């Protein structure tokens, strides 16, 4: 089984009612990627994207949500998302991981994190991800 780690990009104050455009595009890319994979994909997603995947009806993967930093009052950054994802993936014997992040500004860092935690990076075309002017 392959793993997929989804890193959010941006956040709106009213994220639940009007999600960030970047995260909508990332969630749609994940659905497309998972649909093209043979076999099950274990998805570990930052909470903004996990909520969208469920709302969009993603059913071809097992979804684990990274909700918050393990240390109280700390910002949930990409390093922390990957640290928590790595624990979930390693416990389930996953060795190959697809990284899904905003391709222009975020994916290089996220790809490095996947490798840092000992996984083989599996590349997929992410596609165009919009920037959201309302993101905070």
In this predicted model, what pLDDT tens digit does every residue of 90-101 receive, in sequence order?
999 999 999 999
Domain ranges (residues) in the chain? 1-8+47-92+104-136
**Can you give the pTM of this predicted structure?**
0.93
Span 60-88, pLDDT tens digits: 667 999 999 999 999 999 999 999 999 99
Give the pLDDT of residue 89.
98
Give the pLDDT of residue 13.
77
Among candidate residues 62, 72, 21, 66, the one with its CA nearest the CA of residue 42: 62
Span 32-61, pLDDT tens digits: 999 999 888 999 999 999 999 999 988 766
């Amino acid at each position: 089984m392959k793993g997929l780690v989804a890193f959010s990009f941006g956040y709106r104050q009213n994220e639940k009612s009007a999600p960030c455009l970047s995260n909508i595009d990332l969630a749609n890319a994940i659905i497309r990627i998972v649909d093209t994979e043979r076999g099950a994909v274990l998805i570990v997603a930052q909470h903004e994207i996990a909520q969208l995947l469920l709302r969009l009806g993603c059913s071809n993967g097992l979804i684990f949500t990274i909700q918050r930093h393990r240390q109280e009052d700390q910002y949930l950054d990409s390093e922390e998302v990957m640290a928590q994802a790595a624990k979930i993936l390693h416990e389930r014997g996953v060795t190959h991981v697809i990284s899904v992040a905003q391709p222009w500004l975020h994916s290089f860092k996220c790809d490095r994190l996947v490798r840092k935690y000992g996984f083989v990076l599996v590349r997929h075309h992410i596609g165009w991800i919009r920037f959201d002017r309302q993101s905070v």
